[in-house]
Chains A and B, each alone.
Chain A
């Protein structure tokens, strides 16, 4: 393996870890959906937003860093997916923008739009944001309607390097059952984690509002948690049944950039099986999620961190499985040979190396986030 390809794999792993961290941290979004049905009185809503209020910036920053890392390491993906599936990404962005000021503005007097509007914004972010992030991630497997040719830059009349081939600009992706299935899975994961986190916090607090929220979280968890597991299993089965597109490295052209892509039924299942340690991470993740839910639903114990770790591991393993093993991680439904792979979409060797040095700071960042989390979350 060349150093260049090693770094491409490394950066896909970093993007996967950031993606998995984002799904875990979307417990904030899931928690926001509890503004309806769980937090009923003003005191309860204040309490709910208080426990989530320390954390939303972290989720938001992870999303921004995920975007930045994707841009730095795989700029062709940034260019193709964001510029092509325009409306999908714009709606995702809008759903996060309306979140960013709602925490601060909701509780203030003379806030122009009224408390209910800011609550609606948080609810929209919790539902639309999570579902559409799931839809966007699902396109890693289901592909998109785009065409790409880097040399288009030399054509005076049509110099767009990658462009969407229909006029729906990504809106059509929302209505694909497979994409929507992952959207629902991410929504249910976020809500499950949100319920667990809010229960974890409020069950330690005193007062009627806290105990009412905690007991409602506990009762809602049964349906949401079980729903999450069922939809997740359905998604994994569908994913493993999908056809993927693998680079034939042995037939690569002389320039060594990449080779032709060949269709391969059950490609993701094959990929998972060919990396036993990824499969092991995935299984550990699934076991942790199941045991976490069992502990909270059956035994009534707080299991946010166990379940969260499980979600993180399972998502990271699935994302690794999508991009590694020479599979196209975002294939073109218009022209398979235009598909994006780690080979043809990554930054240069120099940039990936530079960024690899930068990535060494990530454990330090995680360390201080963990320290602050502990300080701010402990009773």
Chain B
């Protein structure tokens, strides 16, 4: 059975569709859950019914959104099996564990206590209800931790060894996977982006009420708390964004080069603030990389290594090799060229073939000799195993314009949100927010912008690491299932129609609930 590129493309597109729809719903769940828990804590302590109203209204928005996150989430989990069956075997020994732990520890917590949070107002005590709300919020964030452990491991595959007998990677150090720097920075960055989304959505809806001159107290109180929450999130996002960049520089230099549109590095590489990429530029021609650019000298070197003179390799450098770099453990090494990596990847695959051929040989002496030699070759070259599947250097380069512009969209919108939240905080402090019509306009405009920002972040992370499903070990083309591309295109269309319908329905329902407002909703 031949793998065609359209099968890999269709599988990728389907996964991207599901993941992007999933990430439209999940961030709000992550952040709003915590905000609701804070509101309910205020209610529990003060007994003030207006806090209860606040809690219940935002819980309603939470519930509508939650259902959609669940719907898209289940597809994501099972798609690893249906569309990425080779991947599921090659790394299932590592990847399955976080998914199972997510189910056992987080999903049950979230779904069990969500039922109490939403339906249990008249059935349980105030204290137990508050506990349930906190556990729902914690469960949602805990679930993010485990799935991001899985994702972080794909980008930085630590704590494993390849077993030639079973032709797969096997876990040897659970804790190094759970606490890998990639996972920690991914989790903190993703969760904080969820908090930011929730803060902006709460501020925007509340501002809309102020514009309509209704629910004033409710809105001002919501804005006050959401602003502080959002400010904490945005500053944490800046810090975790930095640690993410440092990790990417060490473990995924090609992604960093694509994020910067950088083809030739230097000692003291500038950071590109904004640029228009030259569409004619390829890794092997002498065209200028940018048609126009505004850069900060030496800033990229400093950002990734706290040293203004550190060499940051560009795309062409990575293809050609020859420069020295620090690996994930900080050890200095000489970079191999693309072709050398391919040769070593092929050597690893040939060693595995040899292993497969002789592992059941009846001649014990011959078998042991060949297997021990094959194991040595395999171990020496396995870190480039995935390159054995690639044919040309172009295949090892992610889509530069998509990665580059998505990164800029994310960073620029991040800057906008810092400004927005500081202004919001100041206007709230001065008690003049409701008089500022222009601010209310920007608040409502910020909702689509914050979702674009959150999605752009994931586009950078996922498009930027192409062609790898497992960094350097397994490319997209060797990860897919043996289904025909027409089957995958069919399910892609089904999912696209279903998710789009779901999104429209969710928005219509949510807008209607918002329009009714905290006083107009009949509580169950």
Chain A interface (Cβ < 8 Å from any Cβ of B)? 50, 53-55, 57-58, 60-61, 63-65, 67-73, 75-76, 78-84, 86-87, 89-90, 93-94, 96-98, 100-101, 103-105, 108-113, 150-151, 153-154, 156-164, 167, 169, 253-255, 257, 347-348, 350-351, 354-355, 358-359, 361-362, 365, 368-369, 372, 375-376
1/0 per residue B55-71: CB within 8 Å of A?
00000000110111011
Q: How far is the CA of A29 from the CA of B449 in the complex (A)?
A: 39
Let me know if B111 and A58 touch, CB within 8 A.
yes
Residues of A within 8 A of B524 (CB): 50
Let me know if A368 and B112 touch, CB within 8 A.
yes
Let me know if B85 and A101 touch, CB within 8 A.
no
Residues of B within 8 A of A161 (CB): 85-86, 89-90, 167
Q: How far is the CA of A265 from the CA of B292 in the complex (A)?
A: 75
Task: Specify the chain A residue showing the minimal Cβ separation from B63.
Answer: A104
Let me know if B481 and A86 touch, CB within 8 A.
yes
A111 to chain B, nearest CB (A): 5
Q: How far is the CA of A166 from the CA of B516 in the complex (A)?
A: 54
Does B296 belong to the interface (CB within 8 Å)?
no
Let me know if B491 and A105 touch, CB within 8 A.
no
Stretch of B72-80, B185-193, B206-214 at the chain-chain interface = B72-80
Residues of B within 8 A of A253 (CB): 360
Q: How far is the CA of A81 from the CA of B494 in the complex (A)?
A: 21
* B residues 92-109 in Cβ contact with A at 8 Å: 92-97, 99-105, 107-109
The 4 A-B residue pairs with the shortest CB-CB distance, nearest first, are A75-B92, A83-B85, A82-B81, A163-B482
Residues of B within 8 A of A89 (CB): 78, 81-82
Let me know if A160 and B167 touch, CB within 8 A.
no
Does B408 belong to the interface (CB within 8 Å)?
no
Let me know if A160 and B170 touch, CB within 8 A.
no
Does B365 belong to the interface (CB within 8 Å)?
no
Task: Specify the chain A residue showing the minimal Cβ separation from B507.
Answer: A112
Let me know if B100 and A71 touch, CB within 8 A.
yes
| Chain B count of residues within 8 A CB distance of the other chain | 94
**One of A58, A351, A355 near B170 (C-beta < 8 A):** A351
Residues of B within 8 A of A359 (CB): 104
**One of A82, A96, A163, A354 near B97 (C-beta < 8 A):** A354
* B residues 477-522 in Cβ contact with A at 8 Å: 478, 480-484, 487, 491, 494, 498, 501-502, 504-506, 508-509, 511-513
Task: Specify the chain A residue showing the minimal Cβ separation from B356.
Answer: A151
Let me know if A151 and B353 touch, CB within 8 A.
yes
Q: How far is the CA of A310 from the CA of B470 in the complex (A)?
A: 44
Q: How far is the CA of A343 from the CA of B508 in the complex (A)?
A: 51
Task: Specify the chain B residue showing the minimal Cβ separation from A369.
Answer: B112
Q: How far is the CA of A75 from the CA of B85 in the complex (A)?
A: 9
Residues of B within 8 A of A72 (CB): 92, 96-97, 99-101
Q: How far is the CA of A44 from the CA of B82 in the complex (A)?
A: 39
7 residue pairs bridging A and B, Cβ less than 8 Å apart: A69-B103, A71-B99, A84-B85, A86-B481, A101-B505, A159-B3, A359-B104
Let me know if A350 and B171 touch, CB within 8 A.
yes
Does B120 belong to the interface (CB within 8 Å)?
yes
Interface of B is mostly: helix
B504 to chain A, nearest CB (A): 6
Let me know if A153 and B352 touch, CB within 8 A.
yes
Q: How far is the CA of A67 from the CA of B102 in the complex (A)?
A: 11
Residues of B within 8 A of A154 (CB): 167, 349-350, 352-353, 356
Task: Specify the chain A residue showing the minimal Cβ separation from B97.
Answer: A72
Q: How far is the CA of A158 from the CA of B110 in the complex (A)?
A: 42
Residues of B within 8 A of A110 (CB): 508-509, 511-512
Let me know if B167 and A151 touch, CB within 8 A.
yes
Does B416 belong to the interface (CB within 8 Å)?
no
Does B468 belong to the interface (CB within 8 Å)?
no
Does B12 belong to the interface (CB within 8 Å)?
no
Task: Specify the chain A residue showing the minimal Cβ separation from B111.
Answer: A57
Residues of B within 8 A of A63 (CB): 74
Let me know if B89 and A75 touch, CB within 8 A.
yes
Task: Specify the chain A residue showing the minimal Cβ separation from B72.
Answer: A97
Task: Specify the chain B residue showing the minimal Cβ separation from A347.
Answer: B93
Let me know if A351 and B353 touch, CB within 8 A.
no
Does B166 belong to the interface (CB within 8 Å)?
yes
B110 to chain A, nearest CB (A): 8
Let me know if A90 and B491 touch, CB within 8 A.
yes
Let me know if A375 and B123 touch, CB within 8 A.
yes
A133 to chain B, nearest CB (A): 13
**One of B63, B86, B101, B511 near A79 (C-beta < 8 A):** B86
Q: How far is the CA of A350 from the CA of B97 in the complex (A)?
A: 11
Let me know if A61 and B111 touch, CB within 8 A.
yes
Task: Specify the chain A residue showing the minimal Cβ separation from B349.
Answer: A154
Task: Specify the chain B residue showing the minimal Cβ separation from A358.
Answer: B101
Task: Specify the chain A residue showing the minimal Cβ separation from B69.
Answer: A100
**One of A86, A93, A151 near B74 (C-beta < 8 A):** A93
Let me know if B478 and A153 touch, CB within 8 A.
yes
Q: How far is the CA of A368 from the CA of B524 in the complex (A)?
A: 24
Residues of B within 8 A of A354 (CB): 97, 171, 174
Q: How far is the CA of A159 from the CA of B480 in the complex (A)?
A: 10
**Given A94-B494, A372-B115, does the pair A355, B163 have CB atoms closer than 8 Å?**
no
Residues of A within 8 A of B166 (CB): 150, 257, 348
A347 to chain B, nearest CB (A): 5
Does B239 belong to the interface (CB within 8 Å)?
no
Let me know if B97 and A351 touch, CB within 8 A.
yes
Residues of A within 8 A of B482 (CB): 83-84, 160, 162-164
Let me know if B170 and A153 touch, CB within 8 A.
no
Residues of A within 8 A of B94 (CB): 351
New contact pairs (13) apart from A83-B83, A105-B509, A375-B116, CB-CB < 8 Å: A61-B107, A61-B108, A75-B96, A78-B96, A79-B81, A79-B85, A83-B85, A86-B487, A100-B70, A158-B1, A254-B364, A369-B112, A372-B112
Residues of B within 8 A of A93 (CB): 74-75, 78, 82
**One of B66, B77, B90, B96 near A64 (C-beta < 8 A):** B77
Let me know if B171 and A361 touch, CB within 8 A.
no
**Given A64-B107, A351-B97, does the pair A58, B112 have CB atoms closer than 8 Å?**
yes
Residues of B within 8 A of A351 (CB): 93-94, 96-97, 170-171
Let me know if B88 and A101 touch, CB within 8 A.
no
**One of A54, A79, A109, A255 near B115 (C-beta < 8 A):** A54
Residues of B within 8 A of A350 (CB): 170-172, 174
**Given A160-B86, A347-B92, A365-B104, does the pair A60, B165 have CB atoms closer than 8 Å?**
no
Residues of B within 8 A of A100 (CB): 67, 70-71, 74
Q: How far is the CA of A108 from the CA of B483 in the complex (A)?
A: 39
Does B283 belong to the interface (CB within 8 Å)?
no
Residues of A within 8 A of B170 (CB): 347-348, 350-351
Let me know if A151 and B70 touch, CB within 8 A.
no
Let me know if B78 and A160 touch, CB within 8 A.
no
A260 to chain B, nearest CB (A): 11
Let me know if A355 and B85 touch, CB within 8 A.
no
Q: How far is the CA of A351 from the CA of B153 in the complex (A)?
A: 15
Let me know if B494 and A159 touch, CB within 8 A.
no
Task: Specify the chain B residue showing the minimal Cβ separation from A104.
Answer: B67
Q: How far is the CA of A5 from the CA of B167 in the complex (A)?
A: 19
Q: How far is the CA of A86 from the CA of B501 in the complex (A)?
A: 23
Does B23 belong to the interface (CB within 8 Å)?
no
Let me know if B81 and A78 touch, CB within 8 A.
yes
Does B168 belong to the interface (CB within 8 Å)?
yes
Residues of B within 8 A of A151 (CB): 167, 352-353, 356
Residues of B within 8 A of A109 (CB): 509, 512
Residues of A within 8 A of B74 (CB): 60, 63-64, 93, 96-97, 100
Q: How far is the CA of A71 from the CA of B79 in the complex (A)?
A: 12
Task: Specify the chain A residue showing the minimal Cβ separation from B513.
Answer: A108
Residues of A within 8 A of B353 (CB): 151, 154
Residues of B within 8 A of A71 (CB): 80-81, 88, 92, 95-96, 99-100
